[in-house]
Amino acid sequence: MDYTLLESTINKTAPLIYMWEISDRDGRVTGRYIGKANRGDKRPTRHYSRNVNKLLRNEPYKNGKNYRRVHFALAEAVKAGDKITLSFLCNVSEEEDIFKVEGRYIRDFRCDADDGIGLNGPWKGPARVMVSMPRLEVGTTPIVQVKEPTLPA
Protein backbone atom coordinates (compact mmCIF):
# COMPACT_ATOMS: atom_id res chain seq x y z
CA MET A 1 0.00 0.00 0.00
CA ASP A 2 1.42 3.34 -1.03
CA TYR A 3 0.54 6.46 0.94
CA THR A 4 1.78 9.96 1.65
CA LEU A 5 3.01 10.76 5.14
CA LEU A 6 2.34 14.43 5.81
CA GLU A 7 5.14 16.43 7.45
CA SER A 8 4.70 16.97 11.15
CA THR A 9 6.56 18.09 14.27
CA ILE A 10 4.98 15.26 16.30
CA ASN A 11 7.36 13.02 18.26
CA LYS A 12 7.00 9.75 16.33
CA THR A 13 8.36 7.59 19.17
CA ALA A 14 5.84 8.80 21.78
CA PRO A 15 2.13 7.94 22.10
CA LEU A 16 0.22 9.70 19.35
CA ILE A 17 -3.06 10.18 17.52
CA TYR A 18 -3.06 9.67 13.74
CA MET A 19 -5.48 10.05 10.85
CA TRP A 20 -5.84 8.11 7.59
CA GLU A 21 -7.56 10.08 4.87
CA ILE A 22 -8.67 8.84 1.45
CA SER A 23 -9.36 11.23 -1.42
CA ASP A 24 -10.68 10.38 -4.86
CA ARG A 25 -9.10 11.57 -8.11
CA ASP A 26 -11.06 14.84 -7.91
CA GLY A 27 -9.67 15.55 -4.42
CA ARG A 28 -12.92 14.83 -2.56
CA VAL A 29 -12.43 13.15 0.82
CA THR A 30 -14.11 9.73 0.68
CA GLY A 31 -12.82 8.21 3.90
CA ARG A 32 -11.33 9.30 7.20
CA TYR A 33 -10.15 7.27 10.19
CA ILE A 34 -8.65 8.37 13.51
CA GLY A 35 -6.51 5.99 15.54
CA LYS A 36 -4.22 5.92 18.53
CA ALA A 37 -0.77 4.40 18.90
CA ASN A 38 0.66 3.95 22.39
CA ARG A 39 4.13 3.11 21.08
CA GLY A 40 4.57 5.74 18.41
CA ASP A 41 4.37 5.49 14.65
CA LYS A 42 5.01 1.75 14.19
CA ARG A 43 1.33 0.81 14.16
CA PRO A 44 0.15 3.30 11.55
CA THR A 45 3.26 3.20 9.35
CA ARG A 46 3.84 -0.56 9.25
CA HIS A 47 0.82 -2.50 10.43
CA TYR A 48 -1.78 -0.87 8.19
CA SER A 49 0.26 -1.39 5.03
CA ARG A 50 0.85 -5.02 5.98
CA ASN A 51 -2.83 -5.65 6.72
CA VAL A 52 -4.08 -3.92 3.58
CA ASN A 53 -1.58 -5.80 1.43
CA LYS A 54 -2.72 -9.09 3.02
CA LEU A 55 -6.34 -8.17 2.32
CA LEU A 56 -5.50 -7.38 -1.30
CA ARG A 57 -3.83 -10.81 -1.59
CA ASN A 58 -6.98 -12.37 -0.09
CA GLU A 59 -5.13 -13.59 3.00
CA PRO A 60 -6.92 -13.80 6.36
CA TYR A 61 -6.44 -11.34 9.18
CA LYS A 62 -4.53 -12.40 12.29
CA ASN A 63 -5.89 -14.70 15.00
CA GLY A 64 -9.07 -15.55 13.09
CA LYS A 65 -10.42 -12.01 13.43
CA ASN A 66 -11.96 -9.98 10.61
CA TYR A 67 -10.46 -6.95 8.93
CA ARG A 68 -11.92 -3.64 10.06
CA ARG A 69 -13.76 -1.05 7.96
CA VAL A 70 -10.63 1.04 7.61
CA HIS A 71 -8.73 -1.91 6.09
CA PHE A 72 -11.44 -2.49 3.47
CA ALA A 73 -11.62 1.23 2.67
CA LEU A 74 -7.85 1.49 2.28
CA ALA A 75 -7.75 -1.64 0.10
CA GLU A 76 -10.51 -0.25 -2.14
CA ALA A 77 -8.60 3.04 -2.37
CA VAL A 78 -5.46 1.20 -3.47
CA LYS A 79 -7.41 -0.63 -6.19
CA ALA A 80 -9.07 2.60 -7.36
CA GLY A 81 -5.83 4.56 -7.43
CA ASP A 82 -7.13 7.02 -4.84
CA LYS A 83 -4.82 9.20 -2.76
CA ILE A 84 -4.10 7.92 0.77
CA THR A 85 -2.52 10.20 3.36
CA LEU A 86 -1.38 9.58 6.91
CA SER A 87 -1.18 12.49 9.36
CA PHE A 88 0.10 12.53 12.92
CA LEU A 89 -2.28 14.85 14.76
CA CYS A 90 -0.83 15.10 18.27
CA ASN A 91 1.21 13.42 20.96
CA VAL A 92 -0.54 12.22 24.08
CA SER A 93 1.15 12.76 27.46
CA GLU A 94 1.15 10.18 30.25
CA GLU A 95 -1.25 12.40 32.20
CA GLU A 96 -3.87 12.25 29.41
CA ASP A 97 -6.23 9.37 28.67
CA ILE A 98 -5.34 8.34 25.10
CA PHE A 99 -8.84 6.87 24.59
CA LYS A 100 -10.46 10.22 25.46
CA VAL A 101 -8.08 12.15 23.22
CA GLU A 102 -8.80 9.73 20.36
CA GLY A 103 -12.55 10.06 20.96
CA ARG A 104 -12.32 13.85 20.84
CA TYR A 105 -10.54 13.75 17.48
CA ILE A 106 -13.03 11.17 16.14
CA ARG A 107 -15.87 13.56 16.99
CA ASP A 108 -14.04 16.70 15.80
CA PHE A 109 -13.24 15.14 12.40
CA ARG A 110 -16.69 13.45 12.23
CA CYS A 111 -15.09 10.05 11.73
CA ASP A 112 -18.08 8.38 13.38
CA ALA A 113 -20.63 10.24 11.24
CA ASP A 114 -23.12 8.27 9.18
CA ASP A 115 -22.16 10.16 6.01
CA GLY A 116 -20.14 7.45 4.30
CA ILE A 117 -16.82 9.15 5.05
CA GLY A 118 -16.31 8.29 8.71
CA LEU A 119 -14.50 4.97 9.13
CA ASN A 120 -14.56 4.82 12.93
CA GLY A 121 -17.45 3.31 14.84
CA PRO A 122 -19.81 0.52 13.85
CA TRP A 123 -20.42 -0.56 10.25
CA LYS A 124 -22.96 1.56 8.42
CA GLY A 125 -24.43 -1.60 6.90
CA PRO A 126 -23.81 -5.31 7.11
CA ALA A 127 -20.26 -6.01 8.27
CA ARG A 128 -17.97 -7.17 5.51
CA VAL A 129 -16.14 -10.36 6.25
CA MET A 130 -12.96 -11.59 4.62
CA VAL A 131 -13.49 -15.18 3.62
CA SER A 132 -10.98 -17.67 2.33
CA MET A 133 -12.54 -17.70 -1.15
CA PRO A 134 -11.51 -14.97 -3.61
CA ARG A 135 -13.93 -12.10 -4.01
CA LEU A 136 -16.29 -12.56 -6.95
CA GLU A 137 -16.51 -9.98 -9.67
CA VAL A 138 -19.92 -8.57 -10.57
CA GLY A 139 -21.80 -10.87 -12.93
CA THR A 140 -20.07 -14.07 -11.88
CA THR A 141 -21.58 -16.96 -10.02
CA PRO A 142 -19.74 -19.20 -7.59
CA ILE A 143 -19.70 -22.89 -8.39
CA VAL A 144 -21.00 -24.72 -5.36
CA GLN A 145 -21.79 -28.38 -5.03
CA VAL A 146 -24.76 -29.02 -2.80
CA LYS A 147 -25.59 -32.49 -1.66
CA GLU A 148 -29.17 -33.08 -0.72
CA PRO A 149 -29.50 -34.84 2.60
CA THR A 150 -30.54 -38.46 2.28
CA LEU A 151 -33.56 -39.36 4.27
CA PRO A 152 -33.67 -42.64 6.13
CA ALA A 153 -35.71 -45.33 4.33
Three-state DSSP class for residue 60: coil
> What phi, psi does 71 have (nearest 5°)?
-65, -45
Total-model pTM: 0.78
DSSP assignment of 81-112 equals: T-EEEEEEEEE--TTS-HHHHHHHHHHHTTTT
Domain spans in the chain, listed from the N-terminal domain onward: 4-108
Specify the pLDDT at position 123.
66
> What phi, psi does 34 have (nearest 5°)?
-110, 135
pLDDT tens for the chain, residues 1 to 153: 999 999 889 999 999 999 999 999 999 999 999 999 999 998 899 899 999 999 999 998 888 788 888 999 999 999 999 999 999 999 999 999 999 999 999 999 988 877 778 899 766 655 454 443 333 344 433 333 333 334 444
**CA 94 distance to own-chain centroid:** 27
Specify the pLDDT at position 124.
61
Specify the pLDDT at position 125.
58
The CA angle 89-40-38, to the nearest 5 degrees, is 95
Q: Please state, in angstroms and rounded to a whole number, the distance separating the CA atoms of residues 115 and 40.
A: 30
Closest listed residue to residue 56, CA positions, set 152, 121, 134, 126? 134
Specify the pLDDT at position 145.
32
Q: How many helices (H) and strands (E) does the chain have?
A: 4, 4
